[in-house]
Amino acid sequence: MKIIIAGCGKIGGSVLASLAQEGHDLTAIDNKSEVITELTNVYDVMGVCGNAADCDTLIEAGAADCGLFVAMTESDELNMLSCFLAKKMGAQNTIARIRNPEYNDSSLSFLRQHLELSMAINPELRAAQELYNILKFPSALKIETFSRRNLEMIEFQLSEESDLSGMNLLEIRKKYDANFLITCVQRGEEVFIPNGLFRLEVGDKIGLAASQPEMEKLLKMLNSLKSQAKNILILGGSKTAYYLAKMFESSGSAKIIEQDEQRCLELASVLPSATIIHGNGAEQELLMEEGLATCDAFVALTGIDEENILLGIFAEQQKVPKTVVKVNRDELASLASKIGLGSIVSPKVITSNILVQYARALENSSGAVVETLYKIFDGKAEALEFKVTAESKLTGVPLKDVRLKPNILIGGIMRGRKTIIPSGSDAIIPGDRVVVISAGNRINNLGDILA
């Protein structure tokens, strides 16, 4: 599909990289020629240097016949305008990054409707949502939800004390009476879809799929259920911090430490129930004073990845029950998880995932379409949710008789409000939603998983 990406900064560039991997025909628009030169050197994409809301630039980039136009520049207004123009020129779908909280309230639907946007994306809000999910369920490093939270998949790392280490999957099944599935295992740099004889080791990162109540039961049995975080300390008063604090307004208390006085005042006026502290969060003295040692969770959201990582390590040392850090650069993210910071949130990755999912869904408008897509385990595997149509070849056959491609697993079936963790005798029927885990294969529609 022909996709144009306007604005190739941190977020736009990462979106471009993941869409390039998907094999789309990409055109990048940016007003800095260095950015364009760099991108065209690394990826097989066309670059156009210019203002994304300039008609000439858009014509040159071919907005008239593109399948998807994505505006990811710094400015919300520019994104809206360029999406609007692209749409009027003939772009089939448009996606704009709109992250100003003022636009993200009730006016968003009005904007979307009248600008004819296919989607408005707010990376900071999405990041805040992911943070919220993790903080609600601190046992997991990461949590992915499917089909309106009917099915959850959590990632967690096996520690020395964990009962699971050293057991193979069949033994685990026998020992624990709960309905769950170990969907994939990451050991070092490699990701496996395990079979029954796969033996878990200390240090493995595993993905567990189960329905929400089952998951709590299971974690209780494993003695690794941590209680929901209520009292959180946020470092850095970014937009993400604002959205996160807003979500905690009803269910807990949030404290934000921010260096810039002006920003503190702004936050204080929009977040009346949160505590806003003006000070340098990099000073450990201040963190201790503001109760780092007693809070339920520490969230580092400053604009500097390195600072987030270092303060995250400090918080772990202070035995804070849950530490989450924002890391935008991929190479730093993998370093951070090596030194023991498990929960990492990256707005860039979240946004890229959403766009990859959207582009895949556009590519095959017929049949079963990708409804949700998560890149899991540092992007080495994918979890996808599909809605099963009557035409699908999978329906009506018990799963043990369905021949799947290697390294693919059906991780869950949602039928109405019921969640089924599939065993060999279960069969898929039309109308189900299924979650497919794939390591290495690119799955576009449900038919792709068959061998």
In whole angstroms, how close is the CB of 44 to another protein at the nearest point?
5
Give the interface segment with another protein, choosing from 36-44, 75-83, 298-306, 422-430 (CB under 8 A): 36-44
The H-or-E segment that residue 312 falls in is helix 305-317
Binding of another protein at residue 46 (CB under 8 A)?
Answer: yes
In whole angstroms, how close is the CB of 379 to another protein at the nearest point?
18
In whole angstroms, how close is the CB of 346 to another protein at the nearest point?
24
Looking at residue 263, its amino acid is R
In whole angstroms, how close is the CB of 16 to another protein at the nearest point?
11
Binding of another protein at residue 189 (CB under 8 A)?
Answer: no
Nearest residue to 381 (alpha-carbon basis) of 446, 439, 334: 439
Q: Residue 395 gets which letter from DSSP?
A: B
Q: Residue 7 gets which letter from DSSP?
A: -
In whole angstroms, how close is the CB of 49 to another protein at the nearest point?
9
Name which of 2 and 173 has its Cβ closer to another protein.
2
Binding of another protein at residue 32 (CB under 8 A)?
Answer: no
Give the interface segment with another protein, choosing from 23-31, 224-232, 236-244, 248-256 (CB under 8 A): 23-31
- The residue with tokens 């503001």 is 290
Name which of 59 and 270 has its Cβ closer to another protein.
59
Binding of another protein at residue 442 (CB under 8 A)?
Answer: no
Separation CA 187–CA 149 (nearest Å): 28
Helices then strands, counting H and E runs in the chain, come out as: 14, 22
Name which of 16 and 368 has its Cβ closer to another protein.
16
Q: Is 119 helix (H, G, I), strand (E, B) or coil?
A: strand
Give the neighbor-by-neighbor strand order of the sheet with 2-6.
Answer: 46-49, 25-30, 2-6, 68-71, 93-97, 119-121
Question: Please, what's the b/e burial string for 103-129 (b: 16 or more CB within 10 A of its CB; e: otherwise)?
Answer: bbeeeeeebbeebebbbbbbbbbbbbb
Binding of another protein at residue 43 (CB under 8 A)?
Answer: yes
Q: Residue 35 gets which letter from DSSP?
A: H
Give the interface segment with another protein, choosing from 38-46, 116-124, 185-193, 201-209 (CB under 8 A): 38-46
Give the interface segment with another protein, choosing from 35-43, 229-237, 387-395, 438-446 (CB under 8 A): 35-43
Name which of 14 and 27 has its Cβ closer to another protein.
27
In whole angstroms, how close is the CB of 26 to another protein at the nearest point?
5
Binding of another protein at residue 41 (CB under 8 A)?
Answer: yes
Instruction: Please select the residue that binds another protein; options are 6, 8, 15, 26, rule is CB under 8 A.
Output: 26
Q: Please, which of residues 59-98 interact with another protein by CB under 8 A?
A: 59
Half-sphere exposure of 305 (CA within 13 A, CB side): 18
Q: How many residues bind another protein (CB under 8 A)?
A: 15
Separation CA 139–CA 212 (nearest Å): 13
Separation CA 433–CA 357 (nearest Å): 16
Name which of 396 and 440 has its Cβ closer to another protein.
440
Instruction: Please select the residue that binds another protein; options are 8, 15, 29, 45, rule is CB under 8 A.
Output: 45
Binding of another protein at residue 27 (CB under 8 A)?
Answer: yes
Q: How many CB atoms lie within 10 A of CB 199?
A: 13
Looking at residue 450, its amino acid is L
- Do residues 133 and 145 lie in contact, with contact meaning Cβ atoms separated by under 8 Å? yes
In whole angstroms, how close is the CB of 45 to another protein at the nearest point?
5
Separation CA 149–CA 39 (nearest Å): 38
Instruction: Please select the residue that binds another protein; options are 40, 100, 227, 294, rule is CB under 8 A.
Output: 40
Binding of another protein at residue 10 (CB under 8 A)?
Answer: no
In whole angstroms, how close is the CB of 32 to another protein at the nearest point?
11
Binding of another protein at residue 33 (CB under 8 A)?
Answer: yes
Give the interface segment with another protein, choosing from 39-47, 172-180, 194-202, 224-232 (CB under 8 A): 39-47
Separation CA 76–CA 92 (nearest Å): 20
Residues 6+ apart with CB under 8 A from 236: 256, 257, 258, 281, 300, 301, 302, 303, 308
Binding of another protein at residue 331 (CB under 8 A)?
Answer: no
Binding of another protein at residue 55 (CB under 8 A)?
Answer: no
Separation CA 29–CA 281 (nearest Å): 37
357: left (phi over 0), alpha (psi -120 to 50) or beta: alpha
Give the interface segment with another protein, choosing from 42-50, 243-251, 369-377, 390-398 (CB under 8 A): 42-50
Q: Provide the binding-site residues for another protein, judged by CB under 8 A.
A: 2, 20, 25-27, 33, 40-47, 59
